[in-house]
Structure 1
Amino acid sequence: MKYQILRTDKAEEQLRNIIFYIADDSGDVDVALKYLDKIEMAINRLQDFPESGSVPRYSALRKQGYRVIIVEKHLVFYKIAQEEKAVIIYAIVDGRREYHNLL
């Protein structure tokens, strides 16, 4: 049984900002769209393998039940809602920044 993928408004906005930044920085919309595809594919894999993300290194995030998948330099934070058979994407952040206070 596949898990449903849900995203918070915050995660949607963060993803949009990442893609806009890449398009602007590279001057190439195709580069940004390819990166978007990479992130989308990683997120969609969670439908079949919700446990595939690792446990975050910050204990506060671990205690709250977050898991994380890494897509190049970005981190996708999510939680698994077992009863609803859903994966909820909470944040998509640059892993090179201090992120534990961004959630």
Structure 2
Amino acid sequence: MQSSYKLKFTPIAEDDLDRMYMYILKHLVAPKAADDLMDDIEISIMRLKEFPYSGSPVQDDILRGRGYRKLIVKNYIVFHLIDEIGKQVIIMRVLYGSQKYENIL
């Protein structure tokens, strides 16, 4: 059995999650939907600790060459890198699925 990886969030990924939550909460006035989405994202990200390669490589050649992987959660994409030496999964960004991520990452 492989050992568990640590999770590390970049500050911008934390901001992505905060903005996403506040948008659904304040603009869509849907507190339950905001809470449910955050729960789903958290559960999916926590799974990466045990299964870091469960997401798929991104399609963009340059980003894939840098090691970027993606995990789709509902309408959102969790972009992450795997640090084998440090045994950690680094959450780089969490973006809405229709965003052109190639220009954002």
TM-score (norm 1): 0.95
Aligned to 1:67: 69
Aligned residues: 103
Matches within 5 A, 1:17-96: 17-96=19-98
Aligned to 2:8: 6
Which consecutive unaligned segments of at least 5 residues does structure 1 have? Answer: none
* Percent identical: 36
For residues 48-86 of structure 1, the C-alpha deviation after alignment (integer angstroms, 9 at most, x for no partner) is 000001011111110110010000111100000001110
Determine the C-alpha separation between the residues in 1 that align with 2:41 and 2:99.
Answer: 18
Which consecutive unaligned segments of at least 5 residues does structure 2 have? Answer: none
The CA RMSD over aligned residues, in Å, is 0.9
TM-score (norm 2): 0.94
**Poorly superposed stretches of 4+, deviation over 6 Å:** none
